A and B are shown apart, each in its own frame.
Chain A
Amino acid sequence: MKCAELLFSGQKVHHVTLPSQSEPCEYHQKKVLLFLLEKCIKTKFKQAINAVLLRPGILVLINDADWELMGELDYQIQDKDNIVFISTLHGG
């Protein structure tokens, strides 16, 4: 469990269709994050949730912006949003 990519079983990109399509493409991010994690992470589910939501050293990006700029968990996910988890590198 060394970087975000490994959390997602080495797969770099996941395309996810969110449930309840009747609602007009707005979701509370907390739910979406949990959904993404459930869908994408095949092993170590609990650690993964901790890792992404609470673990230091991982930045959450929404459409190429730090999620802090987007209101973090209050952001309403839109259709076609691109959510990226990146882990900080330290090597040189």
Chain B
Amino acid sequence: MDQEVCSLKALLKDKEEEISALKNKLAQLEQGHASVLKLHDKVTPIRPLTVKTALSNEDIMRYSRQLLLPELGVKGQLNLAKTSVLIVGCGGLGCPLAQYLAAAGIGRLGLLDYDEVELSNLHRQVLHGEENQGQAKALSAAGSVKRLNSTVECIPYHLQLTPENALQLIQQYDIVADCSDNVPSRYLVNDACVLSGKPLVSASALRLEGQLTVYNYQGGPCYRCLYPVPPPPETVTNCSDGGVLGVVPGVMGCFQALEVLKLASGLSSSCSPQLLMFDAQNLRFRSIRLRPKQADCAVCGDNPSVTRLVDYEAFCGSAATDKCRKLNLLSKGQRISVQEYKSIVDTSVPHLLLDVRPLVEVDICHLPISLNIPLSGLEERRSEDIRLLQERISQLKQQMAGDGQPAVYVICKLGNDSQKAVQVLEKMSGSEVESIAVKDICGGLMAWAMNVDPTFPQY
């Protein structure tokens, strides 16, 4: 009996010691994690990376399959460990890029994104999960990266890259990867890289196509050498307008990781400047030889006119986000709110609701009474579209028993294309079609979903 009590007491003491050791370890880990993954909302100086002179046994095991490559070897692996990479944008490109860089043992990752995780990001931004919705993308990405490889130092930045902070930030890193989603950011990142002498690994993706180029490296061209003048904003399509298949930025982000790893490890990237184009539909890659650095380039040329960062939103005529621009083409009298349109429907005032979105979007969702004629059909005066419109207008006129002009309300997703359509229809009114009273529904179907019918899908 006594003996049993003694051994139980001893066992209990052992277990208590074990529990307290576990608690300590947990506290240490939690503390460590919290300090490593502190979200930065401004650019602050960071301490230099500690230089690893030899691989630990754990490193050797973890990286063994790539250490076996003579092209990389121990030297290349140690080079990776002392390299810091700034990833501008933790979206469809930035996620796979960060993932492979971390897996390969890069020393430090700066993860920059001003945005929060949304449900519509998850099909392509594969470091974020359902539980991360609403969280800063930079933090969510850093958390995933840490789970993959806790030895990689991660610095999440929840901020917008601006002409004021870009140089200070980029100077602290060895290599910059442009994974942004808009034109002003691309010029800003390029100029900041040229001014601080950093190589820029740049990729982009849209719909079923991707492009990749390494700029400002070994005397090669910069982004401005190729594109001295920004494209007119109305010709630029972003992923939230044009759509993108998630795997396409996935492929391009992986190529970016490959190029960064080659630069960082010292594995010579022998090729002259090139643009890699990926056509996902036909599963084709095309490699384009690019012009050399241009002597008359505004930022990297012989007599640069851009010697400090400028206002890139003004330069490009668009905002540095991929959020949709709001056009304002019409007068107040030419537009009605979704609530006003709701009361027109409720009081059964005869009218025609014209949905000018492309068919693929109408298939996603539409209002049951709407007639679909895409904006392009109106702009190009496609004969079958015009005929359909004429028919529906004369039907409406009969319904109205001849008093006043038939009312046509135009709707699209966000209220931009519908304004263009109103302008086209006003030109047609009285000549190509009967005289009509055209109005735009402000904010489009997304405003309808927000303010009138919460069961209507948003996309």
Q: For window 68-92 of chain A, which residues contact chain B by CB distance below 8 Å?
A: 68-69, 86-92
Query: A16 at interface (Cβ–Cβ under 8 A)?
Result: no
Quick one: which of B89, B183, B209, B287 has the most chain A CB within 10 A?
B209
Chain B 210-253 near chain A by CB (<8 Å), digits 1 or 0: 11000000000000001111111001111100101000010000
The distance in angstroms between the C-alpha atoms of A2 and B235, with both chains bound, is 5
Query: A38 at interface (Cβ–Cβ under 8 A)?
Result: no
What chain A residues lie within 8 Å of B422 (beta carbons)? none
Partner of B94, one of A43, A89, A92: A92
Q: How many residues of A are in contact with the other chain, CB < 8 A?
A: 22
Partner of B237, one of A3, A64, A65: A3
Query: A1 at interface (Cβ–Cβ under 8 A)?
Result: yes
Query: A55 at interface (Cβ–Cβ under 8 A)?
Result: yes
How many residue pairs at the A-B interface have CB separations less than 8 Å? 92
5 A-B pairs with the lowest CB-CB distances in the bound complex, closest first: A57-B231, A68-B291, A56-B229, A91-B206, A89-B204
Query: A36 at interface (Cβ–Cβ under 8 A)?
Result: no
The distance in angstroms between the C-alpha atoms of A66 and B213, with both chains bound, is 13
Question: Would you mind naming 10 contact pairs between A and B with Cβ atoms under 8 Å apart?
Answer: A2-B235, A59-B288, A64-B286, A66-B275, A69-B291, A90-B186, A91-B237, A91-B322, A92-B205, A92-B239
What chain A residues lie within 8 Å of B380 (beta carbons)? 43
Query: A61 at interface (Cβ–Cβ under 8 A)?
Result: yes
Query: B289 at interface (Cβ–Cβ under 8 A)?
Result: yes
What chain B residues lie within 8 Å of A1 (beta carbons)? 235
Q: Please state if B322 and A86 are interface contacts (CB–CB under 8 Å).
A: no
The distance in angstroms between the C-alpha atoms of A84 and B236, with both chains bound, is 19
What chain B residues lie within 8 Å of A57 (beta carbons)? 227, 230-232, 235-236
Q: Please state if B242 and A56 are interface contacts (CB–CB under 8 Å).
A: no
Interface size class of B (residues with CB under 8 A): 35 or more
Query: B290 at interface (Cβ–Cβ under 8 A)?
Result: yes
Query: B425 at interface (Cβ–Cβ under 8 A)?
Result: no
Q: Please state if B179 and A59 are interface contacts (CB–CB under 8 Å).
A: no
What chain B residues lie within 8 Å of A90 (beta carbons)? 181-183, 186, 204, 206, 236, 238
Instruction: Give chain B nearest CB distance to A77 CB in angstroms.
Output: 18
Known A1-B235, A56-B231, A89-B211: A65·B204 in contact at CB below 8 Å: no
Q: Please state if A88 and B287 are interface contacts (CB–CB under 8 Å).
A: no
User: Contacts A66-B290, A88-B227 given; 12 further ones with Cβ under 8 A?
Assistant: A2-B235, A3-B235, A56-B232, A66-B289, A87-B231, A90-B181, A91-B92, A91-B206, A91-B242, A91-B249, A92-B205, A92-B239
Query: B81 at interface (Cβ–Cβ under 8 A)?
Result: no
The distance in angstroms between the C-alpha atoms of A69 and B179, with both chains bound, is 28
The distance in angstroms between the C-alpha atoms of A87 and B206, with both chains bound, is 11
Known A86-B277, A88-B204: A56·B228 in contact at CB below 8 Å: yes
Q: For window 273-327 of chain B, which residues contact chain A by CB distance below 8 Å?
A: 275, 277, 286-291, 322
